Structure 1
Amino acid sequence: MDLSDEIARVLIPPLQRVQSSKILRFTLGFFWCLLHLPVSIVHLGSYLIKQLLYYMISSGLLQKYQNLQLDKLRYLAIVVESEEAKNTTKIKQLLSWLSSIGVKYVTLYDMEGVLKKSVETDLKSSENPSVADGNAVASVHQERMTVELLSFSDGKGAVAKAASFLCLQYLEGDSVGYNKMEPVFTETDVTNALKAVGHGGPDPDLLLVYGPARCHLGFPAWRIRYTEIVHMGSLRSMKYGAVVKAIYDFSKKHQNYGS
């Protein structure tokens, strides 16, 4: 066997394996694109239909969205991702929309407290609001709507104060010494403790989340036990029609709270 035959014997099998691997990757990639294409088409079609619906709602072309029933919506909460919360122009536009719709009480929340630093100052400097500051939240009362501002630190502080309150109540109880029983705190006890330290607050009926995350981003959990949560997408691309549709859909829902 000469040298050329020996080289061919050594090199051809690896080359064949490389070519087979390329063909396999190409085949799998082709089938992946083939499966992904209808999904992308459906997603694009759904997006376009929603955008058209939002436009028709904003233009007043759909009569059923014109007269919203706000009987169920006593309190509305808005959760904004902190980076997007820096866009105060969008926040004020959103508040203006909610005020025009007829919402009476709005809670604004972001984790880092960006809204408490920016929106509160803007609302206080407006012409007619009267301002009332609480222990951990600031409530700005406008002519038609009350705006409550919250951050993640408010929730941490509330839990700490409520725990101290419950511990103090336990230590001041009637039982003393070895006869004192182990503390058992119910949900009602915790709720009453939070109210006693000034952090109860109303439970939002509907919570709208603006940002990439589909979660409440640390919004006080004890205030969203029966709250309907809706992800609204990015604040930069918010639509008036989307807000109206979320409120309309909520007004048509029936919630079962159990026995």
Structure 2
Amino acid sequence: MFLRWIESTVLDFGDEIQKVSSWVRSIRDPWLCLLWHITHFLISLWYFILGLANGIESCLISTGALTRYKACDISKVQNLAVVFDSKEALQTIKVLDLLRWLADNGVKNVCLYDREGVLKHFKEALLLLLESEKISKESTSKPLLEQKQMSLEVISFSDGKLAVTKAANFLLEKHYLSVSKEKHLTESDMNDALGAIGYGGSEPDLMLIYGPARCHLGFPAWRIRYTEIVYMGPVKSMKFGSLIKAIHRFTMLHQNYGT
């Protein structure tokens, strides 16, 4: 927890540093410039040490050396969403590796998202590869017990945009063009409209974000009201240990929901 607090503090400090970077560069004072370079070096050094520590921990998790991660209660993750940057979503081998890890660890419902819809073109291929691997494993002398087909949903930004348009038309016809003339719409009305047009969707318990940006890139907002969001870094640094660590950390959280 202490390391997480330090990491958060450094990130906040880094954001403030970037805001004044242009102002510092415009100043000719050599001592201030020297202070700037020293501060930048220390922050870069911290990120290097933090990345090295996370990499070592991920390797230890992958090898099973850290026993506390073996007791991860995967049942707490009923629905998992994974957001990819559209350019990095083209790395289908990495996406397949992630789906394989999730399936092997018992995650049953997965929603993949990228803004441009790149993953939609590979959905069938990914499902076929996962199914072929499952059949191959079951044909061995030690079949996997109680393994069920993983439910895979693939969406993009256009799905959310279309859902809002259809929901608006639904509400218009129901509340404004009807005899009742109801005009005070509530959140439940919007939820009912999305459900009626088939765009309600399940709300992920946990969302993992892979890419250069620390945001959900337009994932449907009405589906992530209580979702825990974790930034995982770029796809090229994807590791099994980091995935298990993120899921384990989520299962240890205590979430308070408002009434």
Which residue of the partner structure matches residue 110 of structure 1?
A: 114
Which runs of 5 or more structure 2 residues have no equivalent in the other structure? Answer: 1-27, 134-146
Shift of 1:116: 0.3
1:191-206 alignment, distance < 5 Å? 191-206=191-206
Decide which of 76, 79, 85 is 1:72's aligned counterpart: 76
- Deviation beyond 6 Å, 4+ runs, structure 1: none
Local SS of the residue matching 1:82: coil
Q: Is 2:74–2:105's contact at 8 Å kept on the other side of the alignment? A: no
Could you tell me which of 100, 108, 121 is aligned with 1:96? 100
Rounded to whole Å, the distance in 1 between the matches of 2:111 and 2:131 is 21
1:124-203 paired onto structure 2 within 5 Å:
124=128, 127=131, 143-171=148-176, 173-175=178-180, 180-181=181-182, 183-203=183-203
Tell me the residue number matched to 1:5. none
Inter-partner Cα distance in structure 2 for 1:124 and 1:165: 36
Q: Which of 77, 83, 86 in structure 1 is aligned with 2:87?
A: 83
Q: Which has the higher helix share?
A: 2
**In structure 2, C-alpha distance between the alignment counterparts of 1:90 and 1:215, rounded to whole Å:** 20
State the one-letter code of the partner of 2:169: S
SS in 2 for 1:207: strand
TM-score scaled by length of structure 2: 0.79
Distance 1:127 1:208 in 2: 23
Task: Say which SS state the counterpart of residue 109 (structure 1) adopts.
Answer: strand
CA RMSD of aligned residues (A): 2.1
TM-score between both structures, scaled by the size of structure 1: 0.79
Q: What residue identity is the alignment partner of 1:27? A: W
Question: What do the CA deviations read for 1:46-91 (whole angstroms, capped 9, x no partner)?
Answer: 1111111111001100111113102321000000000000111110
Matches within 5 A, 1:33-48: 33-48=37-52
The gaps in structure 1 that reach 5 residues or longer are 1-23, 130-141
| Among 62, 65, 69, the residue aligned to 1:61 | 65
* Number of aligned residue pairs: 220
- CA deviation after TM superposition for structure 1 residue 30, in Å: 2.1
User: How far apart are 1:109 and its partner, in Å?
Assistant: 0.3
Alpha-carbon spacing, 1:40–1:186, altered in 2? closer, same or farther (3 Å) = same
Encode CA deviations 1:222-244: one digit per residue, 9 max, x unaligned.
00000000000001110101100
Judge conservation of contact 1:120–1:149 (CA < 8 Å) in 2. Answer: no
Counterparts of 1:228-239 in structure 2 under 5 Å? 228-239=228-239
**C-alpha distance 126-258 of structure 1, shift in aligned 2 (>3 A):** closer
Percent of aligned pairs sharing the same letter:
48
Q: Does 1:255 align with 2:255?
A: yes
- Aligned residues of 1:88 and 1:119 also touching (Cα < 8 A): no
Q: 1:172 to 1:26 in 2, by over 3 A?
A: closer
Contact 2:83 2:209 in 1 (8 A): yes
CA spacing shift, 1:61–1:227, aligned 2, 3 Å: same
Stretch of structure 1 that moved more, 91-100 or 117-126: 117-126
Larger Rg computed on CA atoms: 1
1:149 alignment partner AA: V
Partner of 2:21: none
